[in-house]
Amino acid sequence: MHAETKDAIVIGAGPAGLTASYELAKHGIRSTILEADQLVGGISRTVNYKGYRFDIGGHRFFSKVPLINEVWDEIIDEDMLIRPRLSRIHYRGHFFDYPLQAGNALSGLGLIEACLIGLSYARTKVFPSRQERNFEEWVANRFGYRLYNIFFKTYTEKVWGIPCTEISADWAAQRIKNLSLVEAVRNALLGGSGKTKDGKIITTLIDKFKYPRLGPGMMWECCESRLEAQGNHTLRGRRVERIRHTQGRVECVYARTNEGELEEFSGDQFFSTMPLRELISALDPAPPDEVLRAANSLAYRDYLTVVLMVKRDKVFPDNWIYIHSPEVKMGRIQNYKNWSPEMVPDSTRTSLGLEYFLWDVDDEWNWSKDRLIDLGMKETIALKLIEENEVEDGTVVRMKKAYPIYDQFYKEHLDVIRRYLATITNLQTIGRNGQHRYNNQDHSMLTGIYAARNVVGANYDIWSVNVEQEYHEETVSDEKATGDRLIPQRVEPDIDAEKVAPDAVIRAAFAKMDPFALGVAMGLVFAISLFMATAALLVKGGDVVGPHLSLLGHFFIGYEVTWLGALLGLIEAGIGGFMIGYVGAGLRNWTMSTYTKLLKRRAEMDQSKDLLDKV
Amino acid sequence: MSTQNADQEVSRAIARMKAGILAFIFAIIGGGGLFVMTAWLLVKGGPQVGKTLNLLGHFFIGYEVTWLGAFVGLIYGALTGGIIGWCIGIVYNRIVGIPSTS
């Protein structure tokens, strides 16, 4: 058995693992990366088949975290393309713009269907589901049942393999950034798009995105090369089988090579991107039964791509198409050439990636390559995207555990696992499967960076990354080395400094007025004013004292311009002033509250526009 | 800070009044209002110009519905409005500033 000692051992050469190693190298810490596969990049790899390059799904390089953009630029600045985004929805022979546009959607669906959608929408507005318990109720409450059935139900069920009624409404709500009142008002007043430090507007996910010239795998191959040059080796074909730990520390990991040899890797710090289920079962000694049960209860959705090489230079202009038509099993079609022209070896050819979301126990998962290619061809022809004789080659790529499943119990299981893992002080779990969290690439990278920084004295809460679906700033705790998971704070205070002043104004403007206080203030002023006015006339005297002011007696019972009347007026004007102040403050608060609800609702609808991207 | 906490923070926050600004606004409304009302009656004209508004002269010494009176009223109105606004602001802030026992 071969044994090696390094400062840090990173399990998995996906975005999280490689970024962790990259960050460690910046701090002078050497690391060894163990990758089970023959390719780096994890789910962000690029597969090369006879010169045709393709992703495991499409990976847009878009992040609202400046740090991640900087890392991408550092690794492959010149090879990064800015690509326009076009993706549409295919449903029953029609293409629909995405995000949905009312005119386009209604013209594609026809007048009768449009009317039925309108009626359905009106019905859910008048009679919404009181409790939003599941995804169906959540979406239908916002778009109406009919639109939900057409544009959300089939695709979501294809991706996740469970009925929408069994998907938690919380999950849907997490997909949509829940803007706070201040954010909603700021967006309404100042516009929704964020700004970078140098004041440039952050492009929305809808318009365009960065993409490496040779696919996302290029990023990770470059990253691997840079690490290699610094003496940080990535060892491919090493499947970690056992993680030996004692007294709250991992001592070493054992990895099996493709040739069957068992290798031992020792280190001071360990980073794991392994699926939590596999990580827990690899621990030696084994964790308590409760932890093992929790890990074994975590579920994953698997993913399969059928790639067809088509003898045509242009098939469709989209980067990808969402396939909502229930007649076919595929969920999306990628057109890799539209991601980068260099993804195909011959510009007269097009490669299409037909994406199937499956369980590894499904029949299709175990179908032969030829049978799957045949299925893909038939379905693509049925969608009228290609002709029968246009396909000249094809291949299949399977990716197990591509999507962590958020079932109704996963949080409880995850909590059990997290509590246990917290007792192993030199092991950090990062990345999508390392945290069983539906992270984007940038989220996974951020967990890697945070974990690496924790080794050199920082105290980041890695589990706070992507707790909300979208975020603008990095987070870090200001309390150091307490060992607890801490409340996140900004790492670079200047990022949002310019938001602070408007936010303070918004908070002050939307703060409630105290009705009682305003009532008392106005009551006092009214009371004293009337008393003084009456007293002034009485002191002044004359034949007929204050005939006009006496007319207030119509409103203030018993009031007249006498000393007794002055006292009565003081009391009654006080009461009247109090009521005016109290009601006025209440009305002002109600108006502000209604206005802010309206703003939040608008903001939520804006967020919902690209809901499919988040499914 | 979570969205919920951020919203709770706003919903719990109680507005404070800037007494000086409130006084200024009330002064403009009071002074400007009285000036405009006086001027309006003068421009409108008639046999008995501003008979009722003239009664303010009981409180604002020197005020009458004339062009000179309009300027005198402007000062009185602004002064009175300012005092009222300032008083409301001060009293409101004092009450809001009393710590809640709940």
* CATH assignment at residue A413: 3.50.50.60
Q: How many CA atoms within 13 Å lie on the side-chain side of B12?
A: 8
Residue A568 has pLDDT above 70, yes or no: yes
Provide the pairing of β-strand A8-11 with A269-272.
parallel
pLDDT value of residue A450: 96
Residue B4 lies in a domain: no
pLDDT value of residue A108: 84
Question: Which pLDDT band, with edges at 50, 70 and 90, does B52 fall under?
Answer: confident
Provide the pairing of β-strand A238-246 with A234-236.
unpaired
Residue A95 lies in a domain: no
φ, ψ dihedrals at A484, nearest 5°: -90, 160
Residues shown for chain A: 615
Residues of B in contact with A179 (CB under 8 A): 3
Residues A513, B84: C-beta atoms closer than 8 Å: no
| Cβ within 8 Å of residue A108, ≥6 positions away | A91, A94, A95, A96
From the list B30, B53, B28, B29, the residue with the least C-alpha distance to B40 is B53
Does residue A308 sit in the same domain as residue A220?
A: no
Residue A481 has pLDDT above 60, yes or no: no
- Rounded CA-CA distance A59/A209 in Å is 10
Residue A363 has pLDDT above 90, yes or no: yes
- Rounded CA-CA distance A269/A264 in Å is 15
- Rounded CA-CA distance A92/A325 in Å is 5
The percent of residues above 90 in pLDDT, for chain A, comes to 56
Of the candidates A436, A459, A490, which is a domain's last residue? A490
Residue A106 has pLDDT above 80, yes or no: no
Mean pLDDT of A408-412: 84
From the list A305, A393, A303, A402, the residue with the least C-alpha distance to A353 is A305
Tens digit of pLDDT for each residue in B1-42? 555 566 666 666 788 888 999 999 999 999 999 999 999 999
Residue A376 lies in a domain: yes
Task: Determine contact: A517 vs chain B, CB below 8 A.
Answer: yes
Does residue A432 sit in the same domain as residue A285?
A: yes
Range of the domain at A468: 2-85+211-298+407-490
Count of domains for chain B:
1
- Rounded CA-CA distance A550/B53 in Å is 15
Residue A179 has pLDDT above 90, yes or no: no
As for the ipTM of the complex, it is 0.77
| Helices A497-510 and A181-190, axial angle in degrees (round to 10) | 110
pLDDT value of residue B45: 85
Range of the domain at B54: 17-96
Does residue A327 sit in the same domain as residue A396?
A: yes
Does residue A128 sit in the same domain as residue A46?
A: no
Q: Which of A179, A180, A578 to mutate to test the interface with B (most CBs of B within 10 A)?
A: A180
Nearest CB partner across the interface for A536, out of B13, B59, B95:
B59
Does residue A517 sit in the same domain as residue A608?
A: yes
- Farthest-apart Cα atoms in chain B, separation: 69
pLDDT value of residue A484: 30
From the list B73, B62, B77, the residue with the least C-alpha distance to B38 is B73
Residue A516 to residues A586, A594, B67, Cα–Cα distance (Å): 9, 21, 41
Does residue A458 sit in the same domain as residue A551?
A: no
Residues A520, B7: C-beta atoms closer than 8 Å: no
Residues of A in contact with B93 (CB under 8 A): 517
Residue B74 has pLDDT above 80, yes or no: yes
Residue A282 has pLDDT above 50, yes or no: yes
Residue B31 lies in a domain: yes
Identity of residue A134: N
Does residue A12 sit in the same domain as residue A108?
A: no
